[in-house]
Amino acid sequence: MQIDVTTPALLFPAISLLLLAYTNRFMGITKLIRQLRHKLNEKNYTQVNRQVANLKYRIKLIIWTQATGVVSLILCTLSMMSQFFEADMFGYICFALSLILMVISLILSLLEIAISGKALNVELEGMEKQNLT
């Protein structure tokens, strides 16, 4: 397979949009943690305790999601640079690793979204209990 400088460049728009989405997810978790801290001050321990471990895991996932996306971008850039220095094999390897890391980043993001859905169900359970009492 022959690649030129423009082939790895195709990933640049996707990576920047993904990193923006990942950052927005992280900011959403930050807001949720602050809200949970407020609930904890109101002595609503049961619901908060159920979500703390979940949030810690989600934060780790988002950090790894962002890290793999950034490393993917770095490898993609190295792949493009290797084309200028006529280091084709190094460029192929960097580009292949970049694609693999992008897939890993997307899988981690999908996992975090699934966990986020479970966390929303915990929140809804708390709302249902408040309405019943």
Q: What pLDDT was estimated at residue 24?
A: 82
Q: What pLDDT was estimated at residue 90?
A: 94
Q: What pLDDT was estimated at residue 78?
A: 92
What's the total number of domains in the chain? 1
Kindly report the three-state secondary structure assignment for every residue of the chain: CCCCCHHHHCHHHHHHHHHHHHHHHHHHHHHHHHHHHHHHHCCCHHHHHHHHHHHHHHHHHHHHHHHHHHHHHHHHHHHHHHHHCCCHHHHHHHHHHHHHHHHHHHHHHHHHHHHHHHHHHHHHHHHHHHHHC
| Residuewise pLDDT in 10s, the chain (133 residues) | 666 666 777 777 777 777 788 788 777 777 877 777 676 666 666 666 777 778 888 889 989 998 998 999 899 889 988 888 888 899 999 999 999 999 999 999 899 888 888 777 776 776 666 666 5
Residue 84 is assigned to a structural domain of this protein: yes
Residue 19 is assigned to a structural domain of this protein: yes
Residue 1 is assigned to a structural domain of this protein: no
Q: Which domain holds residue 63?
A: 6-126
